[in-house]
Copies of this chain bind each other. A is one copy, B any other.
């Protein structure tokens, strides 16, 4: 018998768990007075609504497969719902009925309804064992699409309604008597179920903190757990914390179960520089905690899936876990269901990143199947975007649009330059997707639109006097920010001359407001590495990321402003501790070190061909692995030269201005010539 998988209407698993996770946020207590954004106070730990429409799965599913078998086989349907039927050559049977199929051509249809979650099917058999070779029947526009499946749900006993996390026991590393209570320190950030045992107490309030200060500030700590101990023990839902404070000195046992996905870190990095090693590990741990149903933004506050944040997690993932499943789940969750009424997460740039991410996905994984599976959605998203463009075919801000770009101040008069650049890049991604799907008309359309927008950006937004792109061409204020200029360099949308002008007038210009989020540092450093200034990158790792680590960060923060001090660092959105201290968008050093230190990148989809173009960094010797679909690539840089050991074909080492073919499974060592 072939290994069967649980299958469902495409997107059902993702939409179901996305719906649940987006509704797990609770409100924080905010300042009642003196609050910078003047928000009113609100109670803690009350349900907090998602800020965009959250869609559930469809509740009716019909899947079908027709195939010719040469050997007799017996099939049997299992399902999570009783309202289901397996229809073999037009005859209906209940689940748990064994049906013998004679050699010949058969059609097996699976019909099901589930009100509480979504119908899922598991068919044991051989040719007719359930997997994505079953196709959507009847359901309108998705007719003929492959059934949804996931590597997480292949066992007959799996419950699709329960997300398949793993658990690991963790214990506090210290318990401190303070403020008349006890402070449990788990040593580093956790996303875990808290387990309290006590036979003396009936209930207990736990004040959680990502920081010590937050846990002890019981009026304002973000998450408060009311543990009911009537049966002697209590286990919470998984929550984020490093510290737990209790206002009692009674003896009790507090431990935790770390909730995580056991994605193996195939990527690695080690150097002579302890700080860089620690940073890499901290980034990897930040990724671990945020790698869940999809890629989360952060684990304390929103615990939501944001497309721009996820975009960066995908890229880091290609240099760390190389888990395709979580990328696909995240993309599906972000797409949501029909009708599309607003931008993804309501943010214009985040819709563009959704499309752009598919190009990256294809380059790193070479997985055409998913680009085919998601193609209807690509067209839907593009239609939505194009329905909201200006008369000139350029991005225009519409009612209800959130033009984010970054937490920074922009000249937001008229359409913003950075959005146009992302739109052009999104069109390029559409071109790739259309080409894979043999949709030459759309590919050509997208290619032309991308060219047009790039030309318009250079025409409308370039300011000769500033030697840079300005945010707005309508306001006359000539405001220059780093963001659009960085993206223009990163995507190669400017001439060499303009690039040098931007580097001088924007990037190296201290008068231009620096980036304060790791989110946009990703793009800035990616661009700087691309133009060959590796030192800018490692300096920033030391100063910016190092700044957090020196303040004791065990995971990367949502935002970091070196000018702040003390608990000012924890404040955001008008809440005293509302900043996330474990935010996935801070994990980009893994990408930067793998992509530009080890120098590995695919040059054909799925690493069919690839290059290793390592850079000597000011961090001493270093070595590491970069994962690919069919094996890992090990690269080592020492004082004297470079060694590559690759498990795959198709590589070339770029060193000493020469190309060296990289053999498969055989060490290649090249000495530096300069």
Q: Which A residues are closer than 8 A to B by beta carbons?
A: 16, 19-20, 23, 27, 39-43, 46-50, 53-54, 56, 58-60, 62, 82-85, 87, 89-94, 111-113, 115-117, 138-141, 338-339, 341-342
Contact = CB atoms under 8 A, between A and B. Distances in A.
B140 A27 contact: no
A39 to B, nearest CB: 8
Contact of A111 (B49, B60, B116, B338): B49
Contacts of A50: 60
A83 B21 CA distance: 12
Contacts of A39: 90
Task: Classify the interface of chain A: helix, strand, loop or mixed.
Answer: loop
A83 B112 CA distance: 28
A581 to B, nearest CB: 23
Contacts of A138: 49
From A62, A87, A342, residue with most partner B Cβ within 10 Å: A87
B113 A49 contact: yes
Contacts of A342: 140
Contact of A91 (B43, B92, B117, B139): B43
Contacts of A47: 82-85, 92, 94, 111-113
The count of identical subunits is: 2
A160 to B, nearest CB: 13
27 contacts: A16-B115, A19-B59, A19-B115, A20-B115, A23-B115, A40-B89, A40-B90, A40-B91, A42-B87, A42-B90, A43-B91, A43-B92, A43-B94, A46-B94, A47-B84, A47-B92, A47-B113, A48-B85, A48-B111, A53-B60, A54-B59, A56-B59, A140-B341, A140-B342, A141-B341, A338-B338, A338-B339
A40 B93 CA distance: 13
B42 A91 contact: yes
B113 A23 contact: yes
A199 B13 CA distance: 45
Nearest to A118: B56
A528 to B, nearest CB: 41
Contacts of A89: 40
Contacts of A84: 47
From A16, A47, A60, A342, residue with most partner B Cβ within 10 Å: A47
A664 B339 CA distance: 52
A54 to B, nearest CB: 5
B53 A56 contact: no
Contact of A49 (B60, B90, B115, B116): B60
A92 B111 CA distance: 42
A347 to B, nearest CB: 16
Contacts of A341: 140-141
A92 B141 CA distance: 41
Nearest to A16: B115
Contacts of A338: 338-339
Contacts of A27: 85, 92
Contact of A60 (B54, B113, B140): B54
B62 A49 contact: yes
From A46, A85, A116, residue with most partner B Cβ within 10 Å: A46
Nearest to A32: B91
Contacts of A40: 89-91
A101 to B, nearest CB: 15
Nearest to A61: B49
A78 to B, nearest CB: 14
Given A56-B115, A115-B116, 5 more contacts: A23-B83, A48-B85, A56-B58, A115-B117, A140-B341
Contact of A85 (B46, B117, B339): B46
Nearest to A50: B60
A91 B338 CA distance: 32
From A27, A50, A85, A117, residue with most partner B Cβ within 10 Å: A85
Nearest to A97: B43
Contacts of A54: 59-60, 113
B60 A93 contact: no
A62 B50 CA distance: 10
Contacts of A115: 16, 19-20, 23, 56, 116-117
Contacts of A53: 60, 139-140
The 9 closest A-B pairs by CB, nearest first: A23-B113, A40-B90, A46-B92, A49-B111, A339-B339, A42-B92, A116-B116, A47-B85, A46-B85
A84 B111 CA distance: 34
A112 B54 CA distance: 12
A548 B512 CA distance: 88
A356 to B, nearest CB: 25
Contacts of A140: 53, 341-342
A111 B51 CA distance: 12
A445 B83 CA distance: 46
A532 B8 CA distance: 58
From A48, A59, A92, residue with most partner B Cβ within 10 Å: A92
Contacts of A60: 23, 49-50, 53-54
Contact of A92 (B48, B58, B85, B90): B48
A278 B442 CA distance: 66
Nearest to A93: B43
Contacts of A23: 59-60, 83, 113, 115
From A91, A94, A138, residue with most partner B Cβ within 10 Å: A91
A580 B19 CA distance: 40
A37 to B, nearest CB: 12
Contacts of A19: 59, 115
A92 to B, nearest CB: 4
A90 B46 CA distance: 13
A106 to B, nearest CB: 13
A93 B49 CA distance: 13
A390 to B, nearest CB: 22
Contacts of A46: 85, 92-94
From A49, A60, A87, A342, residue with most partner B Cβ within 10 Å: A49
Contacts of A112: 47
From A19, A23, A48, A59, residue with most partner B Cβ within 10 Å: A23
